[in-house]
Chain A
Amino acid sequence: MSDLFETGMDLPAPIEEVFRHLTDPAAMIRWMGQYATLEPAAGGVFEIDINGVPVRGRYLEIDPPHRVVVSWGVAGSTDLPPGATRVEFTLTPTSSGTHLHLVHRDLPGSQAPLHATGWMHFLDRLAAAATGADPGPDPWNAATRS
């Protein structure tokens, strides 16, 4: 299926600290985006600007410090409007820190041909978001220079 993306990572910090990095604006922008407005309660705003891309959504579920679910879209996008997709972060304590499991659901693409333009729009935005967002080695950097 192309409408779901899933990944996981072991993180070297206690679960409470990882949870804080998903709910506290100053902690959030240490790893994603430059500006964040976060109201970590069900229905509260989840807004992050990632290199000028206004990611907008709401906290849908909060279960401290185990689970955070947000809606995820881009302001002004018709193909990927705020609320269009959903990102679930599930945290589990491990012996060395915390395992984070991430699922990004409801992505455009399940009806691939019709939604190809949706993908394009999404990708356009994501490309802007992902390039230069990070001073480290950027494997896609060459791809953004035409």
Chain B
Amino acid sequence: MNPDAALKALAEPHRRAILQLVAGDPRSVGEIASRLDITGQAVSRHLKVLHEAGLVDERREGTRHLFVVNPAGFSAVQEFLADFWTRHLGQLKGALADLGDPQQDGEQQRE
């Protein structure tokens, strides 16, 4: 799983809308296009990005080609939270260091 690819995929509003559509039910390109009022070509392009990011799976039902959300891909969210908290705790560490370390600098522990 590549969190960077997933986050890039998720950064585009149409792709988030597509994921919401396929989260409940498997849907075809045509269905997605008509619901979002964008071209089938655009939908296919977005689905390709989402698929490469591991966020959607393709399946065939008879002649229908359907897309559905891939829950496993959402481990990227976990990565994202990790980034969110690691970054903010890093900022906390910086803020505390700026206050002046009451102890000797040499004893400062670094991550």
Contacts and interface: CB of A to CB of B under 8 A. Distances in A.
Interface of A: 2, 5, 7, 9-14, 17-18, 21, 27, 30-32, 94-97, 100, 102, 104, 107, 109, 112-113, 116-117, 119-120, 122-124, 126-127, 129-130, 133-134, 139-140, 142-146
A12 B97 contact: yes
A5 B7 contact: no
Given A17-B99, A96-B103, A129 B75 contact: no
A138 to B, nearest CB: 9
A117 B8 contact: no
Contacts of B97: 12-13
- Give 8 nearest A-B pairs by CB, closest first: A112-B71, A13-B96, A116-B23, A96-B109, A31-B92, A146-B12, A30-B95, A143-B7
Given A2-B78, A31-B88, A94-B109, A144 B71 contact: no
A120 B20 CA distance: 7
Contacts, number: 140
Interface footprint category on B: 35 or more
A contacts with B: majority SS: mixed
A102 B101 CA distance: 23
Given A31-B91, A140-B7, A113 B23 contact: yes
